[in-house]
Amino acid sequence: MQEVVLAASLLAIALVVVAFVKVLRELGPGERRWSGPEQLSRLRGRILWLSMIAGAALALLTLLPWPHAVPTGPAVVSVAVRASMWAWELDPTRVPVGVPVVFHATSGDVNHGFGVFDPSGKLLFQTQAMPGWVNKVAWTFTEPGRYRVLCLEYCGLVHHGMMAELEVLPRS
Amino acid sequence: MTPLAAAVRAAPILEPTRLALVSGGLVFLLMMTLGLLMKATQAGFLPLEPRAFYEVMTAHGIGMVGTAGLTGVAVLWHFLGRYVELDERVFWAFLASFLSGVVLILGAVFVGGFAAAWTFLYPLPAISGGVWAPETAVVYLAGLALVGTGFLLLHLECARALRARWGGLAHALGWPLLFRGAQDPLPPPAVVAAAAVTVFNLLGLVVGAAVIAISILDIVIPAASLDPLLAKNMIYFFGHVFINATIYMAVIAVYEIIPEYTGRPWTTSRIFVAAWSVLLLFVMAVYPHHLLQDTVMPAWTLAVGQILSYGTAVPLVAVTTLGLLSQLHRSGARLDLPAALLVLGVGGWTAGVMPAWIDGIVAVNKVMHNTLWVPGHFHMYLILGQVAFVWAVLLRLARGRDERGLSASDGIVFWLYLLGGAGLALGFLIAGAASVPRRWAVHDPAWIVHDVPGVLFAVMVLAGAAGFFAKAVPGLLARGAAQARG
Ligand code: HEM
Ligand SMILES: [Cu+2]
Ligand SMILES: [Cu+2]
């Protein structure tokens, strides 16, 4: 996911740069008559239509199915996550591989961010851990190993020290 | 005119918007130095303790956002004053309220150790784990309230003046043109933009004032309590609207100054009016994109947040970016330093909006939210957008127009600033894509590769910015003296 997002963003930024460089290279000499307004409104119309169609397609593609959907049923493993300054309590701390796991995150004091990182240090998913509310997030781990939980919402002095481990067990 | 007012008029450096821009420029430099301190700490070059780091982070965040607000309203006031009758006393009252708030905020952070970050996310200010006293949080929040009151006053005066001159905000927004196809007199782009910003920033400030007041009450009256989810909604509504307003106010400089270089009028068209009205709504309705990881939020609000993140980028590109490019194309314009900075500002803003709206996709946000991706996009559209506009106006006021274009030294500071800003922002983006969290005083050894180049880029930005400032200030003083004599 992250690689695709980075590549798409760099591409979009590059398009902006190219448009500016192109126009700045054709800055002058001035034409007698400025055909700008008509040209501009034609180009603008095209860009508007194109961006609306592309936007609608993107919205459908990325919102269906709903990214925060949480599975239910007997196969689902639940983990209770409770954050407080500055530690995580996970129950249980071991989950099986290949099975949907639903994390129920809440907090005993301020806002924290429940972020799960794979053994290589890549962020897999996150949700906010907030006092008075329980946010649910689902994930199916595909590899066994030791995963790290880091805090992703600033929560004061030891925010960066708020870590825990989650063990994903191989199929028995 | 009283003798004092006459003396003020005779010394343009004491003209309030100039004063605001010059002090804003100076504070930008100071706050950039704090940014450099943070980067150097994360890179392992400096031994800033976490406690000091988070104080500096809070000061840098609120200092930058506040200064963007200060300079944004100075640009707004300066150009809006060409079309409507503004009461200068209100700007002085704004400055007084703003400054007294700043004193409280600085005291809370550097004396009281307040370090809940500029967003004061409830209930962190009150619950610090023993790091700062709840009273200190009250001082910080009271400081914010004073700063906010200043902005409220100022926008109320803009609203009054716009209504007095254009017969209502709907007219200043250009709605007769939009809905009836004609309007006489036509409000110029600066007026349309000013009217839109005034409306949405007023609403944002009112919500901000409410959540600040409740946060204070919550500390003072132990029995009181606020729903943390509601507080989060209010804070991000206010914060999102406010920081956006700083850019939308500063961009007025582009509409006002660029036509002088291209010789082509920037007129209010129907699409221009439509874009600004759509934006007025979208800027407010899009704020749930800050809550995409609060799955207890109603799903439709998050879906709206995602769709409108994209939706706000479209009018920006359609009107301001394409408008600027068509102004420039084959115009024969000779760009001097202020004009080059205005062009950079539109480009940097447009570029920075790309990673921002992509981050507004729920599925993307799940792995990018609160990583360095976020400072990545906002540093791009702030350093290379809002702040570039401010340097442009400052230099323009100081030096007027330079028919010869960019001098060699102008070119050096310009490119230092551009390359430094782009490098810093891209470095943040790459670190975010590599899952480095934001707001961490101590970085994992594996992340330091991302921080080291950032230090160099930060020095470049700072050098470029100091160059702009040094080029502007003597001009402002000399011009002030010249005008006082003449
Ligand atoms: C030399 C230029 C700058 C440098 C080196 C710099 C550096 C930084 C760093 C290192 C952070 C903390 C990132 C983290 O979460 O780990 C940060 C945060 C931030 N910066 Fe900058 N910055 C610069 C300019 C600016 C400007 C011009 C603005 C706005 C006008 C700005 C606004 C902010 C804000 C709002 C934050 C968020 C603070 C928070 O997370 O609470 N910065 N900056
Ligand atoms: Cu935490
Ligand atoms: Cu935290």
Kindly report the average pLDDT of chain B as a whole number.
Answer: 94
The fraction of chain B above a pLDDT of 90, given in percent, is 90
The residue to which tokens 């169609």 are assigned: A53
Residue A152, domain member (yes or no): yes
Co-location of A82 and A161 in the same domain: yes
Residue A69, domain member (yes or no): no
One-letter amino acid at B26 equals: L
Ligand (nearest to CA of B381): 1
For ligand 1, whether the C-beta of B118 sits within 6 Å is yes
Query: What HEC string does B433-469 produce?
Result: HCCCECCCCCCCHHHHHHHHHHHHHHHHHHHHHHHHH
Residue B215 pLDDT more than 90?
yes
Co-location of A25 and A100 in the same domain: no
Residue B484 pLDDT more than 50?
no
Residue A32 pLDDT more than 70?
no
Closest Cα in chain A to B265: A37
One-letter amino acid at A114 equals: F
Question: Do the Cβ atoms of A135 and A70 come closer than 8 Å?
Answer: no
The pLDDT, as a whole number, for residue A55 is: 95
With an 8 Å Cβ cutoff, are A68 and B302 in contact? yes
Distance CA B190, CA B192 (A): 6
Instruction: CATH number of the domain at A99, please.
Output: 2.60.40.420
Contacts A2 to B, Cβ<8 Å: 367-368, 433-435
Question: Sign of the CA dihedral B434, B435, B439, B444?
Answer: negative
The pLDDT, as a whole number, for residue B480 is: 54
Q: Which range is least confidently modeled, B104-113, B452-461, B477-486? A: B477-486
For ligand 1, whether the C-beta of B68 sits within 6 Å is yes
The pLDDT, as a whole number, for residue B8 is: 47
For ligand 1, whether the C-beta of B36 sits within 6 Å is yes
CA angle A120, A123, A124 (to 5 degrees): 105
Residue B12 pLDDT more than 60?
no
Residue A84, domain member (yes or no): yes
Contacts B129 to A, Cβ<8 Å: 85-86, 156-158
Q: How many domains does chain A have?
A: 2
Q: Which range is least confidently modeled, A30-34, B65-69, B260-264, B479-483? A: B479-483
Is the predicted ipTM greater than 0.90, yes or no? yes
Co-location of A58 and A115 in the same domain: no
Distance CA B98, CA B205 (A): 14
For B207-212, the CB contacts below 8 A with 24+ separation are B207/B234, B207/B237, B207/B238, B207/B241, B208/B144, B208/B148, B208/B234, B208/B235, B208/B238, B208/B239, B208/B242, B209/B145, B209/B148, B209/B149, B209/B152, B210/B234, B211/B122, B211/B235, B211/B238, B212/B120, B212/B141, B212/B144, B212/B145, B212/B148
Residue A71, domain member (yes or no): no
The pLDDT, as a whole number, for residue B318 is: 86
Tell me the pLDDT tens digit for each residue of A68-121.
999 999 999 999 999 999 999 999 999 999 999 999 999 999 999 999 999 999
Cis ω before B189 (30° cut-off from 0): no
Co-location of A51 and A89 in the same domain: no
Co-location of A22 and A96 in the same domain: no
Indicate the top mutation candidate among B369, B377, B379 to test ligand 1's pocket, ranked by most ligand atoms within 8 A of CB. B379
One-letter amino acid at B439 equals: R
Tell which residue, B191, B292, B183, has the closest CA to residue B233: B292
Residue A31, domain member (yes or no): yes
The pLDDT, as a whole number, for residue B476 is: 79
Query: Domains of chain B (ranges plus CATH)?
Result: 3-485 (1.20.210.10)
Co-location of A119 and A147 in the same domain: yes
Q: Identify the top-confidence range among A32-41, B288-297, B307-316.
A: B288-297
| Distance in Å, CA B439 to ligand 1 centroid | 10
Question: Do the Cβ atoms of B189 and B266 come closer than 8 Å?
Answer: yes
Residue A72, domain member (yes or no): no
Distance CA A59, CA A133 (A): 28
B388 burial (CB, 10 Å; 0-12 / 13-18 / 19+) is: buried
The pLDDT, as a whole number, for residue B472 is: 94
Tell me the pLDDT tens digit for each residue of B33-77.
999 999 999 999 998 999 999 999 999 999 999 999 999 999 999
Co-location of A83 and A163 in the same domain: yes
Nearest CA to ligand 1 atom 24: B32
The pLDDT, as a whole number, for residue B485 is: 37
Co-location of A133 and A158 in the same domain: yes
Residue A128, domain member (yes or no): yes
Tell me the pLDDT tens digit for each residue of B99-145.
999 999 999 999 999 999 999 999 999 999 999 999 999 999 999 99
Residue A143, domain member (yes or no): yes
Co-location of A81 and A165 in the same domain: yes
| Distance in Å, CA A112 to ligand 2 centroid | 4
Cβ neighbors of B47 (< 8 A, separation 6 or more) are: B41
DSSP output for A19-52: HHHHHHHT--SPPSS--HHHHHHHHHHHHHHHHH
What range defines the domain where residue A137 resides? 77-169
DSSP state of A131: B
**Residue B3: pLDDT band with limits 50, 70, 90:** low
For the segment B308-326, the average pLDDT, to the nearest whole number, is 93
Tell me the pLDDT tens digit for each residue of B409-419.
999 999 999 99
Residue B10 pLDDT more than 70?
no
Residue B11 pLDDT more than 90?
no
Question: Do the Cβ atoms of B128 and A156 come closer than 8 Å?
Answer: yes
